Structure 1
Amino acid sequence: MKALIETIVTPLVDYPEDIVVKETEEETKVIYHLTVNENDVGKVIGKNGRIAKAIRTVVYAAKSDVNKRIYLDIM
């Protein structure tokens, strides 16, 4: 899943080397923390959050564990 997030975000940013995806797994959910360069945050979020919503939609659709919810935090 981390590789999927990195693959989606890399073409959007100017500083792909600053992309960091951390995974936190809990009993009922998995949280992915996406961190990008501060100059690229707007590009990843997009106008009115459209790009962030699209990224989340793809990540939620690709989830492998049916019993856990997936969350994506963009920082």
Structure 2
Amino acid sequence: MRKLIEYIAQSLVDDPSAVEVREVRNDRSALALELHVAQDDFGKVIGRQGRVAKAMRTLLRAGGTREGRHTSLEIL
């Protein structure tokens, strides 16, 4: 899951080397990811009216459901 979010974010931003994804909480049934990007690329990851961020969260939720765990994404 972490690599998927990292790949998507690197494809969207101008500075892919600044993209960092961290696993914050990793229980058996829950996973929280933090996405860090450069300040100038923040809007590209969020998208218009949050559509890109919502799409990434939907992908995480679908993948998490397959694995039987709850997933969440925080963009910092």
TM-score of the alignment, normalized to the shorter chain, above 0.5: yes
Distance 1:3 1:28 in 2: 19
Kindly, what percent of the aligned residue pairs are identical?
A: 39
RMSD: 1.3
Higher fraction of helix? 2
Distance 2:15 2:70 in 1: 29
Using the TM superposition, give the Cα deviation of residue 37 of structure 1 relative to its aligned residue in structure 2, in angstroms.
0.4
Matched residue, 1:37: 38
In the alignment, structure 1 segments of 5+ residues that lack a partner are none
Instruction: Provide the secondary structure at the position in 1 that maps to 2:67.
Output: coil
Runs in 1 of length 4+ with deviation above 3 angstroms? none
Instruction: Provide the secondary structure at the position in 1 that maps to 2:71.
Output: strand
Matched residue, 1:14: 14
Higher relative contact order (CA 8 A, sep 6+): 1
| Count of residues in Structure 1 that have an aligned counterpart in Structure 2 | 74
User: What TM-score do the two structures reach when normalised by structure 2?
Assistant: 0.87
Instruction: Provide the secondary structure at the position in 2 that maps to 1:55.
Output: helix
